[in-house]
C-alpha cells in the first residue's frame, strides 16, 4: 500500500497480513483523488472513512492536507493499525471501532466527503442501506458527496441520490449527491 501524493508521497506502508482487508488499488485511488482534487480544497474538508480497513484512503486524505478525518471499522486490528500508522506519520485521524451501520444510525456529525469501501461481496440490501442512512440522517454538509467503492459486478445506479460512477478494472466508485 502506497501513499500517492502530498506530504507523504511515495511512502509505502505494510499492513499486517492477518487483517480482513482489500486495500484500494493505486491506479483506482489515484484516479479517485484526481477527481476529488478538481472539486474540493483538501485542507478545509471533513472526511468520514467507512469500512476503513488499513486506513489507506484516510492516509491519502491526510497526506494531502486534510486534518479532520474519522475512520470507522469493526475490526480492532484495523483500528489499532490505523492508530499506530497515523501516530507514526503525525496524521490527524480519529478512529472508532464500530459496526458501520450502527455508527451511521447514531452519528450526528456532518462531513464533506463520506467514503465507504465495504467488502465487495456484501449483500446488495446492505449496499442500499449506505446512501439511505447517509441522506436520511443528513450526514453530508452542503455540496458533500458519498462515494462507495464496489465490484463491477454490483450496480448501484438504481439507488436514490446516485450521481455517477467511475470504473477502474474490477473496481467502481459510485458517487451520491443531493442535487436538490
116/51 Cα distance (integer angstroms): 6
* 6 within some domain: no
pLDDT computed for residue 29 by the predictor = 86
**CATH, residue 115:** 3.40.50.150
Q: In this predicted structure, what is the pLDDT of residue 134?
A: 97
pLDDT tens-digit map of 33-88: 999 999 999 999 999 999 999 999 999 999 999 999 999 999 999 999 999 999 99
- Quickly list DSSP for 55-73: -HHHHHHHHTT---EEEEE
Buried/exposed code over 117-128 (b: 16+ C-beta within 10 A; e: otherwise): bbebebeeeebe
Position 50 in a domain: yes
DSSP-based three-state secondary structure for 159: coil
Residue with cell 467488502: 119
* Number of domains composing the chain: 1
Mind listing the pLDDT tens digit for each residue in 25-38? Answer: 778 888 999 999 99
3-state helix, strand, coil in the chain (%, to 5): 30, 25, 45
- Is 73 part of any domain? yes
Regarding predicted confidence, which is higher, 60 or 180?
60
Within-domain flag for 25: no
pTM of the model: 0.94
Beta pairing partners, 166: 173
Give the residue numbers spanning the domain of 125: 44-151+160-176
pLDDT score recorded for residue 24: 72
pLDDT in tens, 140-171: 999 999 999 999 999 999 999 999 999 998 89
Give CA–CA dist 156/85, Å, rounded.
33
- Does some domain include residue 29? no
Amino acid at each position: 500500500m502506497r501513499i500517492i501524493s502530498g506530504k507523504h508521497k511515495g511512502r509505502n506502508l505494510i499492513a499486517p497480513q492477518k487483517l480482513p482487508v482489500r486495500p484500494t488499488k493505486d491506479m483506482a485511488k489515484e484516479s479517485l483523488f484526481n477527481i476529488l482534487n478538481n472539486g474540493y480544497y483538501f485542507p478545509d474538508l471533513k472526511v468520514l472513512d467507512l469500512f476503513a480497513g488499513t486506513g489507506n484512503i484516510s492516509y491519502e486524505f491526510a497526506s494531502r492536507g486534510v486534518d479532520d478525518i474519522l475512520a470507522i471499522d469493526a475490526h480492532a486490528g484495523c483500528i489499532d493499525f490505523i492508530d499506530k500508522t497515523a501516530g507514526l506519520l503525525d496524521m490527524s485521524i480519529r478512529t472508532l471501532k464500530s459496526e458501520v451501520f450502527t455508527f451511521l444510525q447514531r452519528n450526528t456529525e456532518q462531513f464533506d466527503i463520506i467514503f465507504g469501501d465495504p467488502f465487495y461481496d456484501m449483500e446488495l440490501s446492505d449496499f442500499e442501506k449506505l446512501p439511505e442512512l447517509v441522506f436520511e440522517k443528513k450526514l453530508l454538509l452542503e455540496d458533500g458527496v458519498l462515494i462507495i467503492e464496489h465490484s463491477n459486478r454490483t450496480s448501484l445506479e438504481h439507488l436514490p441520490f446516485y450521481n455517477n460512477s467511475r470504473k477502474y478494472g474490477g473496481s467502481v466508485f459510485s458517487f451520491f449527491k443531493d442535487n436538490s
